[in-house]
Chain A
Amino acid sequence: MTTTAQIPLTITEPEKRSKRRGGLSRTLVSYSFLLPWLIGFLGLTLGPTLASLYLSFTNFDLLQDPQFIGTANYQRIITNDVKFWHSMQVTFTYVILAVPLKLAFALGLAMVLNRGIAGLPLYRALFYLPSLLGASVAIAVLWRQLFAKDGLANVALGLFGIQGPSWISDPNYSLYTLVLLSVWQFGSPMIIFLAGLRQIPPDVYEAANIDGANKVQQFLKITLPLLTPVVFFNGIVQTIDAFKAFTPAFIISEGTGGPIDSTLFYTLYLYQEGFAYFRMGYASALAWILLIIIACFTAFSFLTSRYWVHYND
């Protein structure tokens, strides 16, 4: 955000001239470079998205042609689907817990790393690693082992004489193991926070020191306000990610959302409806409702942002 603002957006004179002269061939070259992405976007993203909008108004079992049924899917979702509301509740709990915790953790570590300690690149890489691996199947499998009845988590607790439950297979705790898994992948917001912290000029802190502001005051009055654009960006990206979370719950519960639907994320419910029970029309309607929720959330964030996001300009 703050970094892109420094890139000059106006086209300089020589470039303008060459554009006029090179005209068509130049445009063609740009499009040919864009083409692979464009084909992918039109064919793999936009096309299926529009198709799913149509399918959401149909009854489609994958094998037979879809039958148009109007808004029946949406009506059923809103008025007569216990699992929809349950999966909403699970997903919102997850988002509300995982996003702030992850951001707080990422910011905390970014501030520690920003102190200019030796071997910073190494730490940065190490802390980033979980983010690269996090959404992978292997990590979800590892998580399952860690938090099983005789997993490492319980071995560690056992050292203190505590006998832990089987975290992942106990409906009272299973969702929180997934929150923890998400917080553990703090790497990418951390890197962005770190970049944001680097942008704050050190003389501001010097001035604050001279005025006798303590560390807490400096954090609340300088760091946080100047970092709000980055918090805003990270917040939106992480929230959208959390709404869309699928892999960890799918792997840890083997696609069931169990035990007792305690990890039935919205996306997992959508997957079950579409691919396990062959109700692709209904699943498409569910997907569009999720899209609308995410869009509303993002719009709301942008609308309120001018009251709390301070751009340093």
Chain B
Amino acid sequence: MTHDLNRRTLLKAALGSAGLGALGSLPAFAQDARVRLYWWGSKERADRTLKAVSLYQERNPGVKIDGETLAWGDYWPRLATQAAGRNAPDLIQMDYRYVAEYARRGALLPLDEFVGKSLDIGDFDKASLDSCKVDGKLYGINIGNNSNALIYNKAAFQKAGVPEPIDVTWDKFFELAAAVTKAHNGEYFGTSDASAEEVAFENWLRQRGKALYTEDGKLGLDEKDASDWFAMWAKAREAKACPPADLQALDKNNIETNLLTQGRAACAFNHSNQYVGYQVLNKNPLGITMYPQGAGPNPGHYLKPSMMWSIYARSKVAEPAVKFANFTVKDVDGAKLLGVERGVPASPKVREAVSAELDAQGKLVVDFISHVTPKVGPIPPAPPKGAGEIQTMLRRISEQVGFGRLSTADGGKQYVSEAQAILSRA
């Protein structure tokens, strides 16, 4: 019996301490507003974001902001899963590609009622506001604007005695790139192979008056367009302007594995805000310029919100979340901490204040946006459902062509037929 009693006492004690443990894990200040903040991006972005968070918490006792960050590829599956579990983060870094999908499915909060109150974005220009609207309602707060940008290793061009690829045509670009490869004895390539990069493909399509998608969500290009694109890169591969397919396949579509970062190629096709992230990972000074241009007058570039803040529809702390978002885009101190790593601020006042204190790299990005702004076309419509799958498919077909398993003509055919199948299914 005593044995039993002892055991029971022990059990009780164990349960008791477990209960105490549970009490201990309750938030110390129950009245605190806890905002879950969620974003994708590089380590540089995380550092900047967390700095802004601590400054905000310092100034606003009673608000606690918990940050969660993931790489782009893992970010969306996690967000979708959390949204399905009705447990998405309160403040979500949103992309132009997805805002319509999430908004139309009722996962995001319309922000119009906050404008003029806790959200002071009256001085944003119309384009910066409209690009965050879905069906007439505001679902995002523009964090910064960006545009397509060619990011390149200045030293690689200088060492090769080749002029930098500033505002050149595609033909000239590949000529320069091939010269860089040659000067580096074929061990280092003039440019990475961007045939799998949808941003580059879209820019090039716009130059020939086409688009990835039409206003009503249909395919905006034909087989010939896609074939020509693959053929252009096949020619560059042959001329050794860009690396062979097995090298290019090491690129997993992020800054860390891009061949520019890996020290194997001199150019990366990307967005202007990513310049900051690239420079952090590169020893050599990088340059930033527009994508190579076509012969025609159509601009390939456009300005878009590089990302926006959205609020989860079921958030219980929408007001504090909006206030923190406002802090990062309208409060000069908050915006300065983010710099231009998420794009150039949309508010003219903030842009000016932020620009004044930028380092040389940040200034380059701002100058680039000023340089591009007069040359841009309108922003394309938000992509239709299934666009994410088509983006992955472009990568696969570009690899099939690169490894010689598909001709460039068949690559074009396959792109169109698979894309149409995906769109009709989605």
Contacts and interface: CB of A to CB of B under 8 A. Distances in A.
Contact of B246 (A170, A255, A278): A170
B405 A277 contact: no
B403 A278 contact: no
A254 interface: yes
Nearest to B4: A25
Given A63-B83, A63-B84, A258-B399, A166 B392 contact: no
B80 A63 contact: yes
A62 B101 CA distance: 12
B400 interface: yes
Contact of A63 (B102, B249, B252): B102
Given A63-B107, A166-B249, A259 B84 contact: no
A260 B396 contact: yes
A284 B81 CA distance: 14
B395 interface: yes
Interface string A55-86: 00000011110000000000000000000000
Given A258-B249, A275-B77, A280 B399 contact: no
Given A171-B403, A260-B396, A62 B250 contact: no
Nearest to B82: A62
Given A61-B105, A63-B102, A260-B405, A149 B392 contact: no
Interface in B24-77: 73-74, 76-77
A255 B72 CA distance: 11
Contacts of A275: 77, 80-81
B106 interface: yes
B211 to A, nearest CB: 22
A170 B77 contact: no
B388 interface: yes
B81 A62 contact: yes
Interface residues of A, number: 27
A259 B403 contact: yes
Given A62-B84, A276-B77, A254 B249 contact: no
A313 B358 CA distance: 81
A277 B246 contact: no
A166 B262 CA distance: 14
User: DSSP majority for the A interface?
Assistant: loop
B76 A171 contact: no
Interface in B157-207: none
A62 B80 contact: yes
B392 A63 contact: no
A87 interface: no
Given A149-B250, A255-B73, A276-B388, A171 B83 contact: no
Given A254-B253, A261-B396, A149 B246 contact: yes
Nearest to B83: A63
A165 interface: yes
B169 to A, nearest CB: 30
Interface string B256-281: 01000000000000000000000000
A148 B264 CA distance: 13
B389 interface: yes
Contacts, number: 77
Interface in B72-109: 73-74, 76-77, 80-81, 83-84, 102, 105-107
Contacts of A169: 246-247, 249-250
Given A149-B247, A260-B405, A278-B80, A171 B252 contact: no
B397 to A, nearest CB: 9
Given A169-B246, A170-B246, A275-B77, A256 B395 contact: yes
Contact of A258 (B106, B247, B395): B395
Interface string B364-395: 00000000000000000000001011001001
B416 to A, nearest CB: 16
A80 to B, nearest CB: 9
B299 to A, nearest CB: 31
Contacts of A64: 105-106
A92 B23 CA distance: 51
A69 to B, nearest CB: 13
B250 A260 contact: no
B399 A259 contact: yes
Contacts of B389: 276-277
Contacts of A165: 246
B405 A166 contact: no
Choose among A253, A259, A275 the residue with the greatest number of B CB atoms under 10 Å from its CB. A259
Contacts of A62: 80-81, 83-84
A94 to B, nearest CB: 19
A280 B77 contact: no
Contacts of B247: 149, 166, 169
Interface string B213-242: 000000000000000000000000000000
Nearest to B84: A62
A260 B399 contact: yes
Given A258-B249, A260-B396, 6 more contacts: A62-B84, A165-B246, A169-B246, A171-B399, A254-B253, A255-B74
5 contacts: A61-B105, A63-B83, A166-B249, A171-B399, A171-B405
Identify the 7 closest CB pairs spanning chains A and B, nearest first. Answer: A275-B77, A169-B249, A62-B84, A63-B105, A254-B252, A259-B249, A166-B246
